[in-house]
Amino acid sequence: MSVISYNPVFLSGDDQPVILITGATGFLGGAVAAQLIAAGRGATLRFLVRAQNPANGLQRLAENLRGHDVPAKDIEALNDSQIICGDLLDTSWLTAATPQLMLIDRVINCAAVASFSKNPTIWPVNVEGTFRLAEVMSRSTRLTRFVHVGTAMSCGPQRASPVRESWEFPAAQDQLVDYTASKAEIERRLRQELPQLPLVVARPSIVVGHTSLGCKPSASIFWVFRMGFALESFTCGMDEHIDVIPADYCAEALVNLALKPELAYDLYHISAGVQGACTYGEIDHAYALASDSQPVGERYQRVDPDNLKDLAVRFKERVGAANPRLVLRALRLYSGFADLNYLFDNSRLLEEGMSAPPRFTDYLDACVDSSKDVSIASQMQCDFK
């Protein structure tokens, strides 16, 4: 199994700002927390956690950090006083927590309902709750950076690839899913309604796996590749590219954007870019090598999006039992993203001193190895909660 290591650019030095991480019990937020803890900054971290009390919040955080292979001694060094109990679905806690929030120097806001389902909490959490938190933080005289995690896919359809960073979005009804629409709307509101907020927006492309842990922290989206190769069919061509990055690279970029003293821009893609993206054909060969099987290769059939129902019918035969409606919905949603055939320009991030991202094929073996005892159907649940 390949192991890829990084050397974060701005983790050294005597400056130890107090950093609030939201979403640290999730996939990307957990990876951010793991990076900062590994750099010896655990004591300076604060965590916004949905919990009844700090002890319960610390327990939830510890459980997620174990999934990121954070050493037990580092987890045990964290304490209740670092937990701020709060839920972006109900922000009534903000008034009592404001004194704690005024002691924060930097924020890395990873919290969101990252679901491609019709989850009714997407807008209340991703837009309304996030805005209320940012509004309180905007009053702070101590806060110097508020890094908000968006998504590169919020650019919407009909963009020229590679897609450049832009503050222009399509109307909500033209977005592919509610999630991307919510991410576009909160960016608009933060910029227009909170001009005093020291905002930097980071938009990851497609985050899949971890370079050493594979799908252990989260199986999000990796099941799409497993399903496509099992069905030997999908709506994209084998010669088309996909822009995928691992969670640990994305976390490193977020940490560097939060800690670098000066930034040239206030909006960045975190992406594979033109140089780091892989074709589906390259992924097919790497997947076959990692799973000790034959590439799909010439057996692959490109299907029309209107015929996805036929693929859903074949799912049980090729993959195993699953909810047919969920399978068809998943196929339609992900074919919509795949058919965009987007690459996202990452030159701004590289200009800031970030290393080039690994290619998906460089660590795909770790994703395969960590998924060998997990069904595709169960992995799908990560993205349809």
Question: Any residues with CB less than 8 A from the CB of 144 and at least 6 apart, and which?
Answer: 17, 105, 106, 198
- For 108, other C-beta atoms within 10 Å of its C-beta total 30
Q: What is the mean pLDDT of residues 335-350?
A: 91
What integer pLDDT is reported at residue 297 of this predicted model?
Answer: 93
Task: Name the phi and psi angles at 311, rounded to 5.
Answer: -65, -40
Q: What is the pLDDT of residue 235?
A: 87
Is residue 138 included in any domain, yes or no? Answer: yes
Return d(Cα 126, Cα 59) in angstroms, integer. 24
What SS3 state is found at 292? Answer: coil
Q: What is the pLDDT of residue 10?
A: 52
Q: Residue 286 falls within a domain, yes or no?
A: no
Q: What is the pLDDT of residues 113-125, one digit of tens each?
A: 988 778 899 999 9
pLDDT average, residue stretch 322-339: 78
Domain extent for 25 = 19-211+243-277+341-360
107 vs 96: CA distance, rounded Å: 19
Is pLDDT at 141 greater than 80 in this prediction?
A: yes
* pLDDT band, residue 1 (cuts 50/70/90): very low
User: CA 58 to CA 82: how far, in whole Å?
Assistant: 8
pLDDT at 95 over 90: yes
Query: How far apart are the C-alpha atoms of 202 and 253, rounded to whole Å?
Result: 9
Q: Which residue has the higher pLDDT, 10 or 16?
A: 16
pLDDT at 4: 54
Q: What is the structure's pLDDT at 14?
A: 52
Rounded-to-5 percentages of helix, strand, coil across the chain: 50, 10, 40
- Sheet bearing 83-85, strands edge to edge: 83-85, 45-49, 19-22, 106-109, 145-149, 199-204, 267-270
Task: Give the CATH number for residue 197.
Answer: 3.40.50.720
Radius of gyration of the chain (CA): 20
Give me the number of domains the chain comprises: 1
pLDDT band of residue 377 (cuts 50, 70, 90) is confident
324 in a structural domain: no
Report pLDDT digits (tens) over 344-358: 999 999 999 999 999
Q: Is residue 383 assigned to a domain?
A: no
For tokens 């003293």, the residue is: 261
Which position has the higher pLDDT, 272 or 170? 272
Task: Name the token pair of 71.
Answer: 């050493």
**Closest to 149 (Cα-Cα) out of 117, 120, 179, 104:** 179
Prediction pTM value? 0.94
DSSP state of 21: E
pLDDT tier at 312, thresholds 50, 70, 90? confident
Does residue 317 lie within any of the structural domains?
Answer: no
Cα–Cα distance, 210 to 246 (Å, whole number): 5
The residue ranking higher by pLDDT, 337 or 43, is 43
Local confidence band at 3 (pLDDT 50, 70, 90 cut-offs): very low
User: Which H or E run contains 19?
Assistant: strand 19-22
- Give a yes or no: residue 166 inside a domain: yes
Residue 145 inside a domain? The answer is yes
Given a cut of 60, whether residue 9 has pLDDT beyond it is no
pLDDT: is 261 or 316 the higher one?
261
Query: Is the residue at 306 inside a domain?
Result: no
Residues 115/155, Cβ–Cβ less than 8 Å: no
* pLDDT tens-digit map of 277-288: 999 999 999 999
**Residue 258 scores a pLDDT above 50:** yes
**pLDDT for the residue 329:** 79
